[in-house]
Amino acid sequence: MATKQPVSAACCIIGDEILNGKTRDSNAYFLARYLFDCGIDLKRVEVVGDDYEAIAQTVTRLSSQHDLVFTSGGIAPIVGPTHDDISYEAIARAYSLPLKLDDETCTAMQKVMSKRFPRWELTDARKRMATFPSPAKILRTNPDELWVPVVVVNDNIHILPGIPRLFERLMTLLKPTFEQMAAERGAGGRYYRVQVATKLGEGDIATLLSNIQDRVADQHIKIGSYPKWGVGEDGVRVMVSVVGRDEDAIKDIGDEIARGIEGWVHESVKSVHHDNV
């Protein structure tokens, strides 16, 4: 029987401000933890500037290689529209799609923004924020309070704003969708982790860990070694982490590693969950 493959994902962070150091990105960090909790494997994160060709090339390549793609940036639904809001247009160009004004998004924008700012008007410039590649899937999470949708192009490219609190809120509201996707694939579910401590150095245990990793790679189990700066508590020099979806297998491999590196189980098998996601 063929091994079931987990859902794979990639992220494209868009913005000159990230590349020139003006802004520190937090969305990739949030997304990594979020997808880990969903049982989805984030395989790649790339950063590109506000450049049509760079965005198009990167997103189309990632879309062809992964089940899910998430973009962050290049749209400004709170402060915008701005001159560098080019993500919708760049991705539309990449797939030779027209841009189309979405009336439902305009209505939601008018309703939400008018409550906050009584003199707010839906100008032609602001309509740019509701002009999307067409055809596209428009995911509306909470239009009575949050007019910004997640626009999905080519079935798997999810276009999101770069503002962290918006990015996080939208993704949080969509979490059941991605958890279900992972479950339907049959290779999803929570990750489990065991941590093994040793007084040996990384060089002393590298061969053993490499051999075990090669043996269990098709089970989607990852083994990592993390040296301590100096000698830690109880003489610990290296902490070995074993992560995967099969709880029993993780326990067995942890015990095997502990025996092979003259170590001990520092943290027993437990489900890994990021409570703040």
Mind listing the pLDDT tens digit for each residue in 216-254?
Answer: 988 889 999 999 877 766 899 999 999 998 899 999 999
Residue 157 and residue 15: Cα distance in Å, rounded?
Answer: 17
What mean pLDDT comes out for the span 251-265? Answer: 96
Residue type at position 65: Q
Q: pTM of the prediction? A: 0.86
Please, what is the average pLDDT of the chain? Answer: 90
The token pair at 55 is: 């965005």
Quickly state the pLDDT bin for 276 (edges 50, 70, 90): very low
What's the pLDDT score for residue 45? Answer: 98
Average pLDDT of 120-127?
A: 90
Is the pLDDT assigned to residue 83 strictly greater than 80? no
Model confidence pLDDT, tens digit, residues 16-68: 999 999 999 999 999 999 999 888 999 999 999 999 999 999 999 999 999 99
Mean pLDDT across 64-87: 81
Q: How far apart are the first and last CA of the chain?
A: 35
The yes-or-no verdict on residue 81 having pLDDT over 90 is: no
- Percentage of the chain beyond pLDDT 70 is 91
Give the mean model confidence (pLDDT) for residues 162-179. 95
Better pLDDT: 233 or 142: 142
Q: Report the C-alpha gap between 141 and 123 in whole angstroms.
A: 24
Task: Give residue 277's pLDDT.
Answer: 43
Q: For 99-115, what is each residue's pLDDT tens digit? A: 999 999 999 999 999 99
pLDDT band of 80, cuts 50, 70, 90: low
pLDDT tens digits, residue range 176-220?
999 999 888 765 667 899 999 999 999 999 999 999 999 998 888
**Strand, helix or coil at 105?**
helix
Q: How confident is the model at residue 272 (pLDDT cuts 50, 70, 90)?
A: confident
State residue 1's pLDDT score.
43
pLDDT higher than threshold 70 for residue 138:
yes
Per-residue burial over 58-86, b if 16 or more Cβ lie within 10 Å, else e, is bbbbbbeebbbbbbbbbbbbeebbeebbb
pLDDT recorded at residue 109: 93
pLDDT at 85: 81
Rounded distance between C-alpha atoms, residue 32 and residue 222, angstroms = 16
Q: How many CB atoms lie within 10 A of CB 273?
A: 11
Phi and psi angles of residue 85, each rounded to the nearest 5 degrees, phi first: -80, 85
Structure tokens at 138: 């428009």
